[in-house]
Structure 1
Amino acid sequence: MRMITLGAMSELPEATTWIGDIMRKLLIATGSVVALFFIAMFSLPFFIDVNQYRGTIQTQLQTRLYRPVQLGRMSLGVFPLRVQVQAVNIGEDPRYRSKLPFAQVGQMDVSVKLLPLLSKNIEIKRLTLKRPTIELIKDVTGVWNFSSIGQATQIAPQQQGRNSAPPSAPAKAATGGSGSFALNELRIADGQIAITDLQKRQPRAVYDHIDLTLKDYAPNQPFSIDLAAHLPGKGSELLELSGKGGPVNQAQILMTPFDGKLEMKEVSLSGAQKFLNAAALRGTDASLSGSADLTSSGGRMTSRGSLKIKDAVIRNTEVGYPIAADFDLGDDLNGDAIQINKCDVKLGSTPLSVKGTLNSRSTPAIADLSVSTKDASIEDAARLAAAFGVAFSTSTTIGGKLTANIHAQGPTDRLIMTGAVNGRDLEIKGKGIPSVRVPSLDLTMTPQDIRSAPFTATSGATSLAAQMSIAQYATTSPTLDATLKTINGKVDELLNIANGFGVGATEGMSGSGAITLDVHASGPLKNTSALVFNGTGSMQNASLRMPSLTQPLNVHNARLQFTQNSVNLANLSASLGSTNATGSVSIANFEAPRLTLALAADKLVVGELQKIIVPDKPAKKAELSWDILPVVHAASAGQPGLFKTATGTGTITIGNLVYDRTNLTNVRSNINLDHGVIQLNPLTAQVFGGQINGSITADMRQDISSFAVNAKLTGADVNQLLTSVANTKDSVAGTLNATLNQTLSLPPSGDVTQTLNGPFAFTVSNGKLTKLDLLNELGKIAKFGESAKGYTAFSNMSGTFDIRNGVATTHDLKAALDVGSMAGSGTINLVNQALSLRLTTVLNKSFSQSVGGTGIGGYMNTALANKNGELVLPVMIGGNMGRPVVTPDLQTIAQMKLDNLIPSVGGLLGGKGGTGASGILGTLMGGAQPQQQTQQAKKPAPNQQQQQVQDLLGNLLGGKTQKKTPPPPK
């Protein structure tokens, strides 16, 4: 045995060498075969022109899809073996009348079998669509366009001509509607899908970045599907659906069986908003993760899973805690009815259980839900409600425990509820809101009403007892019944309670003082003007700061009486700014206040009042809505103030009414308020040392208030008026009677004068022009000499000024002087006091003769004489009201001489037989008078008249004019 073993061992090296040679040869042979295979495969594109298979591939696709197909440039790819086709277009079912094809593909890879390819046959194994755009359309009957793929349909002639020739299907395929379309695998890479739902009349929605793998698809056979949607965002942002389905129910797609799983991995709602193009998700964000098992059979789907929400933002407000949910849902896909078998939600640490059904087919949805929680923290639920803009401000925090058991039925906008909500140890705090405590709050809900047990809200040392009920809450006409009581409550603490409960009308208000209330209110909740109030109250030493006022409203004393839809403030003593008022005020309809006033104020400074009233800012109106629980949408600050919303009537007396430099005293008037427009009519007051009777209308609605004055002024001091209006002191003196219809405003510059507009008719008696010695100036011009007095006295001056932006224009100014009369026209700029007037003065006969009559040095140059022997002196007045400048009016003198129209004293003043100042001045300016028209034949021709005026002006100026030599006749 030993010898045999030794012999075998001596032969072992030779055997090993022999085996190694064989293995090496086998490896070389295998490598050669593999190399030849790769060489052959890589050589295929050079030996096979796949474009020769275009017709075959196109026919197979059209045969399987029963849709027109267009193929672009083709090439052959290896590993895997495939035909690459560019610019593929798959036509739409003509029944859907779409202008877009069913699919447009940038590149399509068609995987084929090798051996049939070598024998110049094409057998398709797999299709890969890269960056396709696919149009999915549901018609009005609920049938999707993809349901007809693989089914023979009649293609409209125009569709055939536009896309391609109709498919030439084999006879076998033509006999079976769905027997021709089968595919081992279909892949969509980074696709875009557009969905149009004509049944629900929803607009076209586009979904991007979708990957899809469909395997083993064949008629009447199950298939598998993997779908992934990549959403924009910073997380994983992946939505995946995988499972098995089929066979496809071509008649009713929703009846197709499916068993799979839906997963979300850090999907952001902001990314979903962009992906879904859903406007409802704007301003909302969160990170969603979770999974659900989906099972669908016979048109009914069940879903069981969990969902976690982190970093939730609702309406741009951070919720501040995670939300988790475990659910078991069933959905009737045909009836749109969702069965909630279980939905356990945790809002932070607050548990909430929801069960029931929700039918979303109708609008609004129909609910039958049960909601319950026990001894849960109310803080997280209240913060979520605030984020949705209901019940509380987002800056408000609420502590305490909540127990609720509610059954809600009916349309979601008119839910009928039964059950109870119980709150314990509630505490409300927030920015600018000290602690408000409610030991207990119990609500009982029935189909008829929501009723609270009596409860007490406390802030500091102030307690407010309340009880309320809302009847017919599920109808369009809910009614309120509420009672409020407090004794000597502090105003600031009562405002804290109101702000804590989200009463928008008190937002931004603060105050001090004491108030007592015992009020009962009842009536329609949506029409607060129809609420009926009963009760009493009082206020002492109260000070209220409101967003609509820059200064506090101080109520020193007021007795409150609530009756019907109004509150009466009797024995009122209040102040605002420098104004102190007493009397009574009645306020009806708190939504659009109607006031009845009987007030007496010591003074009212209009400029101060304008600064106190804050201009309106756009604001959200407080409103009511109903959900599972009744909620109040709090109104934001900046709502229109009392002046802008109130209407009313009454009487008012004011000791001093100050407007710029104008001071009215002992003002008595009826007052009418109309949404920021205040009218005093009829008004009586003392002003400028006289009496004013008429009306004043103040429009306080804009940043710059405007005023309209329509009144008569009697016995006033004209100097005071000019000092106030034009800031011109001691230029005119006398007693003024006037009729004015003026508009004006108080601009930021404070200069009222430049805003004056309207007519002003006046008469000044026994007056003086203190800055103008007219006779002395006329003596200088006419060279008759007259001692200087320093002023011009007149017994009467009258006229009408048409004022535009502070510039007064007159055409009928006239005055009776001690020694004659005066008439004029022109402008007086009340803003800068500039003068531009033309005056004609007629000196009576006795005075004219006393200064020399026609023998004065300026006769026929600067002065004329009429047939009565009265000197007539036309002049122009420039300069300003403080320093007038008088110069001769040579043009008027020339025109008078030419027209032989020399006025008399009576003519200027409009005496018997005279035309008055306006008629004479109009004639001098080129107007025609009736008596002149009868003598037109006696007047020289226009050219001759013009030459006479030029000659006369030349003589007046001391020069000579040369007559032009007429041109020789042609």
Structure 2
Amino acid sequence: MSGSAPGVAPVPAHRHEKLLRWFSLALIVTVIAAAFLLPLININRYHRTISETLARSIGHPVHLGSVKLQLLPRPGLAISDLVVEENSDFGAEPLLRSPSVVVSVRLTSLWRGRLEVSRIDLDEASVNLVRDPKGQWNFGSLLEQASRIPNAPTAQRHSGGNPRFPYIQFKSARINFKSGNEKKGFAFLNSDLSIWLDNPHQWRLRFEAQPARTDLDIDLEDTGSMRLEGSIDRAPTLEQMPVKLHAEWLRAPLGQVSRMLFADDMGWRGDLRAEADIAGEVGDMQVTTRLRVADAHRQEFSPLSPLNIDAQCRAEYRHNEQSLENLTCLWPVGDGHLLLTGNVRNFSAPQSQLTLEINRTPASLALDLMALLRPSLSSSWGAKGTINGSFTYATAAVPAWKGDATVEPLNLTFSDGGAPLMLPALHFMTPSTATPPMSHGKKHSQRNVRAVNVPTQSTIVLEPAAVDLGAPSPLQVSGDFTPARFSLHLAGSAAVGRLKGLTTSLASLRPSTEQLGTQGLADMDATVAGPWLAEPSSVDDGLNAATGSSTQGWIHLQNAVAKVDWLPEQVTITSATASFGGGKISWSNANVLVNGVAIRGSADTATRCESTEPCATHFNIDIPQLDAAALQSALLGAGQHGELLERILAEVERKTAPWPTMDGQVHIGAFALGDLILHNTLASISVKDHRLDITSLDAAALGGSAHATGTVEASGSQPQYSLAITWSGVDVGQVAALFDEKWPASGRMDGGTDLTLQGYSSSDLASSAQGKFHWRWNAGSLAVNGGEVANVAFAPSRFTQWNATGAVADRALTLNKVGTTNPVSGKISFDRKLDLTWAAGRAGTPLHVGGTLAHPAVENVTAGVTQ
């Protein structure tokens, strides 16, 4: 039975509820008042005390902006513009700068009369990590200072004798790296860092950030994410502090990785994942790494089979000696592996002793790696075979390689379906036992411009190997290779079809063979050399600008064929020599047939252009005889019909196979345009985009000479022509015979015309023709039917000089009457109809000439007829 104790008056239940409500209301008012009033309390009077306290705690001078009290979301101090100065040994720039810092306090510590910080939050801080010339880091003093201050673990629930270490968090921080006073381009952006004391002797940390190059414009979404997690234990000095860390770089595209490492995109593609585990004392650590790259390839192509990299390394890091001891890196590949072992000491002036073991490594790996490094190699190669050997690298007085490796049996295949290439065993060795490569070439030995490199102790040479490429004599392959550069020498003979498999994948040799067919024979002596890691170029010329390689030497072709996409028929190459050097490819002594038209001459193209436009080809060709019909067939293909200019411009306009940019001179011994023969024609022309420029054209014709300039612009819906033609000393009788006219004429004529036309067909050209013309006809005569016409007495007219001017328009020639020097006026239509007035016939009687050129009709002009 429950009830009130004797002598105690019971308290009504409603009085308990009323007290609880008043207490809750008072608490709410107090909290609200504190939230608004505490920030108004002037705590800046303690500004100096706070900064000095912080300076003693971290061992660096500290400067503060404003300091305010806050209650929400946690009670503590709100500090603006916190600056932690750097020790003078590491430079003058601050160690840390943060615009906003919140220092949260533990309320329970206030009840005991001792202020205890529970949490420190720094927003958008900028941190400088500096390494001095001795290899010491500026944050080392911070760790040593913190190690000397006794603290209880951050998560400890109850206060003890030592204050609990605060939870420190950086949000959206930027971490810069410096070497002395030099700020590096690499930095961490959007960094989140958390540090806390897990037990009295061990700090834990968690870090995540985006790596970036501050001197480049890099999209941070494409740089991946770096993470670090682990622990650091207390010790008297930084070198003695035990650490256990795990770092990862995830989702990093290989192209952006190369930009951060080399300040430029090297053209690599793939996904990188790198991991590292570090354990031991800072001065003596065990380091284990794993590097994985999925589907590594160049941006220009995807390989026939994906290149996946999965390599692991382990080593012992000695901080005082700045060395890696007992280095071991293993990369399993296929049924074999690559194994690198050794030591690297004194990072500032490395002294290395390394051994590379190559055990049953697929030859395709070497090809894939070269294709990844060199833009000049494509995915058209495949390789079967294995590599066995070993090399040692030591840096004593002079860096030196020793060892050898053999590739066998090596079988190269090509994606174009050509016959596989079986190579003999290839032997790579160091110079002490290697035979210097010898030049070989049975023809044109005077063209051998190869400078044989003198092998050094850092060189690995490929001993000369004879490769049968279907020619009477083999092709000799040799080379030398250093860590920075390579040099490959090819000399001898080869069937063109077999040689193409090699040269197609070498950018500097590709233009000389890429358009060739499979027939023919080639002699060559050429050396391709360049750096392994070519410096990228902003100029995309498709050749050596992207590769950084150079080629010296020559290739001589006999009885080969070529198919160029802007000509309908293949070109037969009787003989031609391509020379490499001086930044260009030069073709000389070329004798070719284009649809039966014999052409001889030379041409050259630069291998690197200053602009982004394709390099122009400069040519100088000679054609003994040429017929317009043969020219049309050569340019347009046999069996094509229609207007020559229409078809030529249609070819120029083709989007899939535009004419290349080119300029030069053409000499034609005899050029037949129907019945008109132009002798000793010499023309200077250039083609660019959709424009053909005739700089000059000179020829002998009709007993005189002709000169022409002009342009053909084909960028619009219809081609536009602008021509200026002059002639001198032309035999008028030959002109009349050319047009099959029966009326007798004599004398010599000089003259010219400026014409503009547009269209494709002859009808469009005639309708749009506009311009002016003039002639001076010297010592001439002209007769119409030789006598009586329409009851008009008409005798041959002789004159000393006839000067004529006129216009071309409306499908007709209009002659102007100019005093006595031009006695004829009127029109001659393009369909050869006449409407002319002869100012003075026999006895000064004006005549009208009608009819056609073939059948003129002459009559007296009656009174009242307008002349």
State the TM bucket, normalised to the shorter chain. Answer: 0.5 to 0.7
Q: Does 1:539 align with 2:549?
A: no
Range 740-749 or range 318-327, more displaced: 740-749
Assess, with a 3 A threshold, how the Cα gap between structure 1 residues 118 and 204 changes in structure 2: closer, same or farther.
Answer: same
Q: Does 1:191 align with 2:172?
A: yes
Correspondent of 1:665 among 675, 678, 691: 678
Q: Does 1:509 align with 2:515?
A: yes
The aligned counterpart of 1:260 is: 244
Please tell me the residue identity of whatever aligns with 2:703: G
Listed as ranges, the gaps of 5+ residues in structure 2 are 1-21, 56-60, 146-162, 212-219, 432-454, 532-543, 609-616, 637-647, 848-855, 862-866
* Matched position secondary structure for 1:184: coil
The aligned counterpart of 2:474 is: 465
Correspondent of 1:692 among 702, 705, 711: 705
Please tell me the residue identity of whatever aligns with 1:197: K
* Matched position secondary structure for 1:600: strand
The aligned counterpart of 2:422 is: 437
Does structure 2 conserve the Cα–Cα contact (< 8 Å) formed by 1:212 and 1:228?
A: no
The aligned counterpart of 1:308 is: 292
Assess, with a 3 A threshold, how the Cα gap between structure 1 residues 788 and 207 changes in structure 2: closer, same or farther.
Answer: farther
Mapped partners of 2:393, 2:754: distance in 1: 65
Mapped partners of 1:318, 1:83: distance in 2: 59
The aligned counterpart of 1:854 is: none
Identity of aligned residues (%): 10
Mapped partners of 2:521, 2:275: distance in 1: 55
Please tell me the residue identity of whatever aligns with 1:554: T
The aligned counterpart of 1:782 is: none
Correspondent of 1:715 among 722, 730, 748: 730
Does structure 2 conserve the Cα–Cα contact (< 8 Å) formed by 1:284 and 1:315?
A: yes
The aligned counterpart of 1:343 is: 329
Assess, with a 3 A threshold, how the Cα gap between structure 1 residues 507 and 421 changes in structure 2: closer, same or farther.
Answer: farther
Does structure 2 conserve the Cα–Cα contact (< 8 Å) formed by 1:132 and 1:188?
A: no
Does structure 2 conserve the Cα–Cα contact (< 8 Å) formed by 1:110 and 1:125?
A: yes
The aligned counterpart of 1:375 is: 360
Mapped partners of 2:627, 2:252: distance in 1: 63
* Matched position secondary structure for 1:91: strand
Does structure 2 conserve the Cα–Cα contact (< 8 Å) formed by 1:471 and 1:480?
A: yes
Does structure 2 conserve the Cα–Cα contact (< 8 Å) formed by 1:433 and 1:499?
A: no
Q: Does 1:575 align with 2:593?
A: yes
Assess, with a 3 A threshold, how the Cα gap between structure 1 residues 185 and 337 changes in structure 2: closer, same or farther.
Answer: same
Does structure 1 conserve the Cα–Cα contact (< 8 Å) formed by 2:242 and 2:280?
A: yes
The aligned counterpart of 1:76 is: 71
Range 397-406 or range 520-529, more displaced: 520-529
The aligned counterpart of 2:106 is: 112
User: How far has the Cα of 1:484 moved from its partner?
Assistant: 1.2
Please tell me the residue identity of whatever aligns with 1:208: N
User: How far has the Cα of 1:569 moved from its partner?
Assistant: 8.2
Assess, with a 3 A threshold, how the Cα gap between structure 1 residues 234 and 692 changes in structure 2: closer, same or farther.
Answer: closer
Correspondent of 1:211 among 193, 205, 208: 193
Mapped partners of 1:101, 1:668: distance in 2: 80
Correspondent of 1:763 among 777, 786, 789: 777
* Matched position secondary structure for 2:517: strand
Does structure 2 conserve the Cα–Cα contact (< 8 Å) formed by 1:712 and 1:738?
A: yes
The aligned counterpart of 2:153 is: none
Assess, with a 3 A threshold, how the Cα gap between structure 1 residues 522 and 72 changes in structure 2: closer, same or farther.
Answer: closer
* Matched position secondary structure for 1:328: strand
Does structure 1 conserve the Cα–Cα contact (< 8 Å) formed by 2:557 and 2:575?
A: yes
Q: Does 1:62 align with 2:51?
A: yes
1:277-292 alignment runs, 5 A limit = 280=264, 284-288=269-273, 290-292=275-277
Q: Does 1:600 align with 2:624?
A: yes
User: How far has the Cα of 1:796 moved from its partner?
Assistant: 3.5
Mapped partners of 1:506, 1:341: distance in 2: 46
Mapped partners of 1:742, 1:337: distance in 2: 82
Please tell me the residue identity of whatever aligns with 2:97: F
Does structure 1 conserve the Cα–Cα contact (< 8 Å) formed by 2:210 and 2:223?
A: no
Mapped partners of 1:799, 1:83: distance in 2: 107
Assess, with a 3 A threshold, how the Cα gap between structure 1 residues 343 and 380 changes in structure 2: closer, same or farther.
Answer: same
* Matched position secondary structure for 1:394: coil
1:903-928 per-residue CA deviation (whole Å, 9 max, x = no partner) reads xxxxxxxxxxxxxxxxxxxxxxxxxx
Mapped partners of 1:743, 1:359: distance in 2: 81
Mapped partners of 2:551, 2:273: distance in 1: 48
Query: Which structure has the larger Rg over C-alpha atoms?
Result: 1
Name the structure with the higher helix share.
1
Assess, with a 3 A threshold, how the Cα gap between structure 1 residues 768 and 246 changes in structure 2: closer, same or farther.
Answer: farther
Assess, with a 3 A threshold, how the Cα gap between structure 1 residues 148 and 512 changes in structure 2: closer, same or farther.
Answer: closer
Mapped partners of 2:759, 2:399: distance in 1: 55
User: How far has the Cα of 1:125 moved from its partner?
Assistant: 3.8
User: How far has the Cα of 1:325 moved from its partner?
Assistant: 1.6
Assess, with a 3 A threshold, how the Cα gap between structure 1 residues 644 and 200 changes in structure 2: closer, same or farther.
Answer: farther
Mapped partners of 1:404, 1:244: distance in 2: 43
User: How far has the Cα of 1:423 moved from its partner?
Assistant: 1.8
Mapped partners of 1:616, 1:370: distance in 2: 60
User: How far has the Cα of 1:74 moved from its partner?
Assistant: 4.5
Assess, with a 3 A threshold, how the Cα gap between structure 1 residues 756 and 578 changes in structure 2: closer, same or farther.
Answer: farther
* Matched position secondary structure for 1:382: helix
User: How far has the Cα of 1:118 moved from its partner?
Assistant: 7.0
User: How far has the Cα of 1:553 moved from its partner?
Assistant: 1.1
| TM-score (normalizing by structure 2) | 0.60
1:781-860 alignment runs, 5 A limit = 796-798=801-803, 816=821, 821=823, 847=843
Please tell me the residue identity of whatever aligns with 2:558: M
The aligned counterpart of 2:498 is: 493
1:149-188 alignment runs, 5 A limit = 184-188=165-169
Mapped partners of 2:830, 2:96: distance in 1: 76
Range 732-741 or range 384-393, more displaced: 732-741
Assess, with a 3 A threshold, how the Cα gap between structure 1 residues 554 and 230 changes in structure 2: closer, same or farther.
Answer: closer
Please tell me the residue identity of whatever aligns with 2:680: V
* Matched position secondary structure for 2:369: helix
Mapped partners of 1:472, 1:381: distance in 2: 14
Assess, with a 3 A threshold, how the Cα gap between structure 1 residues 475 and 75 changes in structure 2: closer, same or farther.
Answer: closer
1:836-871 per-residue CA deviation (whole Å, 9 max, x = no partner) reads xxx999769x956x78xxxxxxxxxxxxxxxxxxx9
1:337-386 per-residue CA deviation (whole Å, 9 max, x = no partner) reads 767822222356652233467799889x9987543312211223322332
Does structure 2 conserve the Cα–Cα contact (< 8 Å) formed by 1:795 and 1:815?
A: no
| RMSD, aligned α-carbons | 7.0
* Matched position secondary structure for 2:62: coil
User: How far has the Cα of 1:321 moved from its partner?
Assistant: 4.0
1:413-437 per-residue CA deviation (whole Å, 9 max, x = no partner) reads x997554342212222343242333
Mapped partners of 1:568, 1:316: distance in 2: 28
Listed as ranges, the gaps of 5+ residues in structure 1 are 1-35, 153-181, 618-636, 771-775, 777-784, 852-870, 872-881, 888-892, 894-970
Mapped partners of 2:77, 2:816: distance in 1: 94
1:61-112 per-residue CA deviation (whole Å, 9 max, x = no partner) reads 422143222457653358xxx425557431364997879981123x725132
Correspondent of 2:750 among 738, 751, 769: 738
Please tell me the residue identity of whatever aligns with 2:777: T
Q: Does 1:123 align with 2:123?
A: no
1:272-671 alignment runs, 5 A limit = 280=264, 284-288=269-273, 290-295=275-280, 297-298=282-283, 303-312=287-296, 314-315=298-299, 320-329=306-315, 341-347=327-333, 351-355=337-341, 370-390=355-375, 392-407=377-392, 418-434=402-418, 435-446=420-431, 447-448=455-456, 451-457=461-467, 465-470=474-479, 482-486=490-494, 489=495, 491-499=496-504, 503-506=509-512, 508-515=514-521, 517=523, 519-520=524-525, 539-540=558-559, 542-546=560-564, 551-555=569-573, 557-558=574-575, 574-577=592-595, 579-581=597-599, 600-603=624-627, 609=635, 644=662, 652-656=667-671, 664-667=677-680
Mapped partners of 1:401, 1:75: distance in 2: 72
User: How far has the Cα of 1:213 moved from its partner?
Assistant: 1.4
Mapped partners of 2:199, 2:817: distance in 1: 103
Does structure 2 conserve the Cα–Cα contact (< 8 Å) formed by 1:134 and 1:194?
A: yes
Assess, with a 3 A threshold, how the Cα gap between structure 1 residues 640 and 811 changes in structure 2: closer, same or farther.
Answer: closer
* Matched position secondary structure for 2:425: strand
